[in-house]
Amino acid sequence: MSETSLFRSQPVFLSGASFAFDGHAGRFMLELHKHDANSEMLLIEEGEGEFEIDGRRYAAGPGTLLFYQRGLWHKELSTKHPFRATYIGYTDMQIGALPPDYFIDPAAAPVLELREHLPGVAKLMKDCIAEHRRMEPESQLAASHYLGLLFVKLARLAHYGDAAERGRSTAKEAVWKAKRALEENYGAAHTLASLAADTYLNKYHLAHLFKEMVGVSPIQFLIYCRMEAAKRYLRTTSLQVKEIAEIVGYQSEPSFYNAFMKTTGTTPCKYRDNR
């Protein structure tokens, strides 16, 4: 199973450049315009500016990434110099149910404050541009791959939130982490909520992924692990049934009996006698 992704199609790099204005020989200014076939992003690295996007005004400084999403009117003006920025134009990107080439929901401000992530984002943007300018075989493809990595980093900041900052696992890794926890510590009082917290996934999303990958729900798999361990103890030890029940995670002997009967079709005592 492929891991879940926000990206339904990957972006294609169109163009990009870094530029600077010192304020003496002029300032950065573009009158109201739009792009009907693609989107652009603009990263401010130094200085400040005033920007109008879709009728809303934004003041932006170093570390601000603005998105001029497809079809939106926008206007740009540098106000504090020196002013340095980098832009990239892209197309063919589809994120979830957003309109084509949109990275930010139309109802939200098309602005991302990068803060400490500014150096990393700036480097990836410049890598995209440098690769495209090499004009070597497959430079277009390589530039688009760099752009894909850039958008993965941005998506972690904008769409995954705190989970990404905690080192969010991929969906596949999360499921196998939960599975291993159940296999190795079946005697603990696991719940879907506790497994979700450990894997940084929504509990309903984890349950869906777990059943898709493992074939049963997390709770069903926990019962399987407990019963397999119980059968092992019954076959190889002389421990009382009550003791085994406690070891494999049951607080009462009747609960253990019921689970064992339902799973194996016989009682723990008969299972031991027939081993």
The per-residue pLDDT for range 130-143, each reduced to its tens digit, is: 999 999 999 999 99
| Cα–Cα dist 216/86, whole Å | 49
For residue 131, what are its two tokens? Answer: 């690769």
User: Would the pLDDT of 166 be above 50?
Assistant: no
Please give the sequence-ordered ranges of beta strands (E in DSSP) within 162-243, or none if there are none: none
pLDDT of residue 25: 83
The per-residue pLDDT for range 181-212, each reduced to its tens digit, is: 999 999 999 998 899 888 877 788 888 889 99
Crossing angle for the helix pair 192-199 and 218-236, to the nearest 10 degrees: 110
The closest alpha carbon to 241, from 201, 273, 193, belongs to 273
User: Would the pLDDT of 215 be above 80?
Assistant: yes
| Cα–Cα dist 3/20, whole Å | 41
Q: Is 236 helix (H, G, I), strand (E, B) or coil?
A: helix
pLDDT of residue 3: 54
pLDDT of residue 2: 44
| Cα–Cα dist 222/138, whole Å | 49
pTM, entire model: 0.60
pLDDT of residue 81: 96
Residue whose token pair is 């002997």: 253
**pLDDT more than 90, % of the chain:** 79
Residue whose token pair is 């958008």: 151
| Cα–Cα dist 272/258, whole Å | 16
The closest alpha carbon to 113, from 156, 164, 68, 60, belongs to 60
Q: What distance, in Å, lies between the first and last C-alpha atoms of the chain? A: 38
> From the DSSP assignment, how many helices (H) and strands (E) are in the chain?
10, 9
pLDDT of residue 5: 86
| Cα–Cα dist 233/29, whole Å | 77
Q: What is the mean pLDDT of residues 224-234?
A: 95
Q: Is 135 left (phi over 0), alpha (psi -120 to 50) or beta?
A: left
The per-residue pLDDT for range 9-19, each reduced to its tens digit, is: 999 999 999 99
DSSP letter for 138, please: T
| Cα–Cα dist 180/123, whole Å | 38
| Cα–Cα dist 147/4, whole Å | 19
- pLDDT mean across residues, the chain: 91
| Cα–Cα dist 178/173, whole Å | 9
